[in-house]
Structure 1
Amino acid sequence: MEEEFELEMSPLCHEITDSGKTVTVEIYRGGGSDWHLEVVDEFNNSTVWDDQFPTDIAALEEARSTIRDEGIESLIGTPS
Structure 2
Amino acid sequence: MTDQVEYIQSPLCREYTDDGHKVEIDIYRTEDSGWVLEIVDEGNNSTVWEDKFETDQEALDEALDALKQEGIQAFVGSFE
Query: TM-score normalized by structure 2?
Result: 0.91
> Which residue number in structure 1 is paired with residue 23 of structure 2?
23
SS at 1:47 equivalent = strand
Q: Which runs of 5+ in 1 are unaligned?
A: none
Cα-Cα RMSD: 1.4
* 1:6 to partner: Cα distance: 1.3
Identity of aligned residues (%): 49
Q: Which runs of 5+ in 2 are unaligned?
A: none
SS at 2:50 equivalent = coil
Alignment of 1:62 with 2:62, yes or no, is: yes
Letter in 2 for 1:47: T
Q: Which runs of 4+ in 1 moved over 3 A?
A: 1-5
Task: Describe the superposition over 1:49-77 as per-residue Cα deviations: whole angstroms up to 9, x where unpaired.
Answer: 00110000000011100111000000000
> Which residue number in structure 2 is paired with residue 49 of structure 1?
49
* 1:2 to partner: Cα distance: 6.5
* 1:16 to partner: Cα distance: 0.4
Aligned pairs, how many? 80
Task: Describe the superposition over 1:12-71 as per-residue Cα deviations: whole angstroms up to 9, x where unpaired.
Answer: 111001122110010000123110000000100000000110000000011100111000
